[in-house]
Structure 1
Amino acid sequence: MHQPTPSVDLRHHTIEAPAGRLHLVEQGTGPLVVLVHGFPESWYSWRRQLPALAAAGYRAVALDVRGYGRSSKPAATDAYRMLALVEDNVALVRALGEETAVIIGHDWGSNIAATSALLHSEVFRAVGLLSVPYAPPGGPRPTDVFAQMGGDQEFYVSYFQEPGRAEAEIEPDVRGWLAGFYAALSAETMPTQAESDPHFVNRTGGQLRDRFPGGRLPSWLTEGDLDVYAGEFERTGMTGALNRYRNMDRDWEDLAPYSGSPIKQPSLFIGGGLDASTTWMADAIDAYPATLPGLADSHILDGCGHWLQQERPDEVNRLLIDWLDSLRPTA
């Protein structure tokens, strides 16, 4: 059983970056490891990893991605394109006085980490991906693909595209919406296969929350944890976070020169056996010999949902530390 996360030794500070300001939370000394969260989360998603990585001899740094938490929230939608987020990560490494780092991401953070490694191999010497597999840039336009999914149901990514639409659902009850969203993608509380898939919305006036499970929180999420997440989004609103989805076609255009490109640095993948982000992209995992030639290992955690590092912190910490230790130069 994992122990409560110690708040002592956590160092909060901000740095100047292309976003304007990035909020970082740091613990430990040693080789730099940058931790990038996904949607709808914050640096706090790595609360179980920071002390474990620090104890293992690493300088672990979790950031609030631009648009989240205490980091800057630019007004323009296109300020959240992938190229901008990558430059934030490069600026972070430089601001911390380092030349290189290992970067690890979960959910959208996995995509951000992968693209950071692809575009800046001189900075990001290795990449760890949680939940969302690496798929090289290219293929059809993303919004065209998502629009064709679901038949008479609308895929959640398409639902998130229109500015203000998802905000109108979420912001009147941020805490309740987050509780339902986290539960919907957690192994303990996710709907059964016989129930409605929470990744889709009824096209005739439906909302995502219509398909969220009611009742208890998953065991990894305490009322206090939920207070932290809800407090951040109640203060910032949801638009900065949702704007990541609204740049997928821009990313597709921006990254066209890298179509089909592999990531050659050392890499690691960890997915959840019950996580749609992993199972829907099984073909991407099968392609790893070509797309991630430096892959050390690919782990699927049986019976685990989407929130890997929070649902299974001890197991994820062990896998991360074993991999990070393998990257250290031998004497």
Structure 2
Amino acid sequence: MQPEPSAAPRHRTVEAPAGRLHLVEQGSGPLVLLVHGFPESWYSWRHQLPALASAGYRAVAIDVRGYGRSSKPAETDAYRMLDLVADNVAVVRALGEESAVIVGHDWGSNIASASALLHPEVFTAVALLSVPYAPPGGPRPTDVFGRIGGPEQEFYVSYFQEPGRAEAEIEPDVRGWLAGFYAALSADTMPAPNEPDPHFVARGGGRLRDRFPTKALPAWLSEDDLDVYAGEFERTGTTGALNRYRTMDRDWEDLAPYRGAPIQQPSLFIGGALDASTTWMSDAIDAYPTTLPGLAASHLLDGCGHWIQQERPDEVNRLLTDWLATLQG
């Protein structure tokens, strides 16, 4: 028997350690919490909300603290991973639930994996999109990123970590910057292998946007979609979103007790074959038998870039709903 067509998505805010968190929910049934990455919002799950609702789930997409209509604490330290995990637990409780399946993309993948690692009693399964799971540990992140790129260019994470620097590039033209950033990591518009890599800036005053494509939007992104994203960041600024990059060393310290820890719950990974996140972190994917012992499957979608649930919504929806069905027995 097929579920009844789902009702329209509902916007609401709930109390959380961040102050308040804005979320959009659709459907009823077991709770599936959707966590976005940078530079996005709940809207990046617009294709998944109705699909999950139609499959019999209560799908909830949040604006992560610092984004959209959620609270934006002023202190950089307020964006540490432990606080984002606490927000996710608070959302589950505020919705009257005891547990949820958590799904994350990009930074949301890291947030989802940390949530599952720290609170397995709440997050009973985890699906990770684009960014593979790598257990806590290893060298200090800032030291690692500082060595990437060499004398001529600087890695984008190091660029984002300096307060105010990326804001000065992005905020005078939020819409144009977002269009270029989305295009740079999309399969149909990303630079060719022989062109300058958009994950780096030239040292000595370079900008990320100097390496962005400028001719066309990727096929998955309409002008109206871009207006939604740009409108949110034009209203809120980008500091809250960028602060996630500025707390990585603090996360490394906070999560030290979990060094090397696997995630035991049922899990799923979906990545894009053309996404730098999956090629750079291929060793993490190879380690899944150890780090994700409950992994059902690891999918790399051919010809797909970074914005996976928007570039390939039908395929991602099918993989998610098929996996979720196995969790229901």
TM-score range, shorter chain: over 0.9
Indicate if the aligned counterparts of 2:32 and 2:102 stay in contact, CA closer than 8 A.
Answer: yes
- Offset of 1:7 from its aligned partner? 11
Correspondences of 1:31-46 after superposition (within 5 Å): 31-46=30-45
Amino acid at match of 1:323: W
Query: TM-score, length-normalised on structure 1?
Result: 0.97
Q: Distance in 1 between matches of 2:219 and 2:318?
A: 20
Q: Distance in 2 between matches of 1:211 and 1:8?
A: 42
| Structure 1 partner of 2:202 | 202
Secondary structure, aligned partner of 1:60:
strand
| Structure 1 partner of 2:308 | 308
Q: Distance in 2 between matches of 1:24 and 1:108?
A: 17
Secondary structure, aligned partner of 1:192:
coil
Is the aligned partner of 1:264 residue 2:264?
yes
| Structure 1 partner of 2:283 | 283
- Offset of 1:8 from its aligned partner? 6.1
Correspondences of 1:16-165 after superposition (within 5 Å): 16-151=15-150, 152-165=152-165
Residue-pair matches, total = 324
Amino acid at match of 2:179: A
Amino acid at match of 1:324: L
Q: Distance in 2 between matches of 1:180 and 1:284?
A: 28
Is the aligned partner of 1:297 residue 2:297?
yes
- Offset of 1:204 from its aligned partner? 1.1
| Structure 2 partner of 1:3 | none
Secondary structure, aligned partner of 2:13:
strand
Q: Distance in 2 between matches of 1:311 and 1:178?
A: 16
The Cα offsets for residues 57-114 of structure 1, whole Å up to 9 and x where unpaired, read as 0000000000000000000000000000000000000000000000000000000000
- Identity fraction in percent: 83
Q: Which runs of 5+ in 2 are unaligned?
A: none
Q: Distance in 2 between matches of 1:238 and 1:91?
A: 24
- Offset of 1:243 from its aligned partner? 0.1
Secondary structure, aligned partner of 1:16:
strand
- Offset of 1:19 from its aligned partner? 0.2
| Structure 1 partner of 2:175 | 175
Q: Distance in 2 between matches of 1:248 and 1:215?
A: 34
Q: Distance in 2 between matches of 1:231 and 1:73?
A: 16
| Structure 1 partner of 2:219 | 219
| Structure 1 partner of 2:240 | 240
Query: TM-score, length-normalised on structure 2?
Result: 0.98
Amino acid at match of 1:129: L
What's the Cα RMSD here? 1.0
The Cα offsets for residues 226-263 of structure 1, whole Å up to 9 and x where unpaired, read as 00000000000000000000000000000000000000
Secondary structure, aligned partner of 2:182:
helix
Q: Distance in 1 between matches of 2:280 and 2:305?
A: 13
Indicate if the aligned counterparts of 2:7 and 2:27 stay in contact, CA closer than 8 A.
Answer: no
Q: Distance in 2 between matches of 1:327 and 1:216?
A: 41
Q: Distance in 2 between matches of 1:105 and 1:52?
A: 16
Secondary structure, aligned partner of 1:160:
helix
Secondary structure, aligned partner of 2:19:
coil
Runs of 4+ in 1 over 6 A off after TM superposition: none
Q: Which runs of 5+ in 1 are unaligned?
A: 1-5
Secondary structure, aligned partner of 2:16:
coil
Q: Distance in 2 between matches of 1:203 and 1:116?
A: 36
- Offset of 1:278 from its aligned partner? 1.0
Amino acid at match of 2:234: E
Q: Distance in 2 between matches of 1:9 and 1:312?
A: 22
Q: Distance in 2 between matches of 1:21 and 1:232?
A: 16
Q: Distance in 2 between matches of 1:14 and 1:198?
A: 36
